Amino acid sequence: MKKFLGVIAAAIILAAVGFAGYKYVLPRFTDGDSANSSSVYVMPVSNFNMDMMFVTNRYSGVIETQELVDVKSDSEKTISKTYVEAGDNVKKGDKLFEYDVEQIQVDLDQAKLDVEQAQTMVNSYNNQIASLEKEQRTATANQQLSLSNEIEALKLELKKANYEMDKKNKEIAKLERAVKNYIVTSPTDGKVQSVGGENATADGYIKIASNGDLRINAAVSEEHISEFAENDRILIRSRTDESLTWGGVVTSIDTSKPVNSANNMGTDAPTKYPVYIALDSTDGLMIGQHVTVELDFGFDQEEKEGLWIDEFYICDADTSPYVWCDNGNGELEKRTIQLGEHDDDMMQYQITSGLTETDLIAFPDDTLTEGMPTTTEFVFDEDDGAIIDENMTGGEDVTLTDEGTAGGVAISEDGIQKEEVVG
């Protein structure tokens, strides 16, 4: 499953769905009136257990007959062992070859260190901005302009730091997937036609004649083709009833066969390329049937039992875990908690005692002390054009429609739902 960090923190969430952005950058001070200007923002523990909202993309696809499957190797990785040779019969899931993961692990460790450094910078910029804004409220007219310039400069640096952290988080997700999937397996039942060769990287390291009858040909535009890679897990939905789903895996991406078409306005639409997907099951599918496809991030898994919160809200998790919590009287306190299981994918701990869903907790930083006033008021800087609706909850599915919109979300010319929201 793709790592949780690999998919959230998209900037469009704040504008489109509001509250989901809380998980990564939380302003510790409100921008409201002076009564709340030095209060610590706290939020209900129940927010961590609501259906989260994520940005993903859906693409149009059609069921067609299966052909030769090319299993490509990653040119940036070294193949350490090959398990099959031409003429071998293979079953879906059989080992084909494996990569040397030593260098991948080194890159992963470095990326995680970079994220820690970026988070430190984000915290520092937030603290500096809060301090200057407090100073600005009592500054003279001559000092106001200078302080405003300093604040704007820090906000720009904060945006850059958040952007770099988001990039590194996506890199971590990719590297973790590479470490986890260092053994490449057959995506289908069939017979190995060839292994290696002069054009092995471009044409496929291993070619398998599939025994299956059906596959999906998905049309993806040039702007989004880079989102897909061979062996990516895919979630397929019926166009007429999206509760009907199937699983699949990307077997090949053919950029040598571009398809050009005109849109409804008669102008050229973006070039599209076929992405071929092998199906886990063909039950209920037929040739010519239209479906939608999306990268499978694993968010359809069973809901976890118990109380869970993000690990970066927990201090001293390995020794004496505690959180910063409202004491019920509008003041901050350290609250000792007991931890249960850890979810590596979601980066969350199960809380076995010390907290309830109605408790209010704060994002930790070095400036917090017991007795500080707390607030549940959460207001974004109006200059950024984003306002939080505190009554908004997550988890609403948006349905792809033939009219080109999905619950108010635009559909591009190649049938992609640009800002699909799933729970």
Domain map of the chain by residue range?
A: 4-52+302-384, 58-74+197-295, 102-180
Identify which of 113, 116, 96, 97 has the alpha carbon closest to the alpha carbon of residue 105.
113
Hey, which CATH number is domain 4-52+302-384, 3.40.190.10, 3.90.1150.10, 2.40.420.20, 3.40.50.720?
Answer: 2.40.420.20
Tens digit of pLDDT per residue, the chain (423 long)? 434 333 343 333 333 333 333 333 344 444 444 444 578 999 999 887 665 555 578 899 998 866 678 888 888 788 889 999 988 989 989 999 988 888 788 888 888 888 888 888 888 888 988 888 888 888 887 888 888 888 888 888 888 888 888 888 888 888 888 777 788 999 888 888 889 865 555 567 898 877 666 889 999 988 889 989 999 999 999 998 988 999 999 999 998 888 766 555 556 678 899 999 999 988 888 877 899 999 887 655 556 788 999 999 999 999 999 999 999 999 999 999 999 999 887 789 999 999 999 999 999 989 999 999 999 886 544 444 433 434 333 333 333 333 333 333 333 444 444 433 333
Bridge pairing between strands 40-41 and 374-375? parallel
What the block records as the tokens of 228 is 């897909």
**Is 2.40.30.170 the CATH number for 58-74+197-295?**
yes
Interhelix angle 102-136/141-180, nearest 10 degrees:
160
Q: What would the two tokens of residue 84 be?
A: 């099959």
Phi–psi pair at 166, nearest 5 degrees: -65, -40
What was the pLDDT predicted at 133? Answer: 85
pLDDT at 50: 61
For 342, the enclosing helix (H) or strand (E) is strand 338-343
pTM reported for the whole predicted model: 0.37
d(CA 60, CA 165): 32
Distances (CA, A) of 229 to 9, 94, 110, 311, 380: 21, 19, 23, 30, 37
Distance CA 6, CA 1 (A): 10
d(Cα 322, Cα 336) in Å, to the nearest integer? 4
**pLDDT in the model for residue 23:** 35
- Residue found by looking up tokens 């869970």 in the block: 308
Per-residue confidence (pLDDT) for residue 236, from 0 to 100: 94
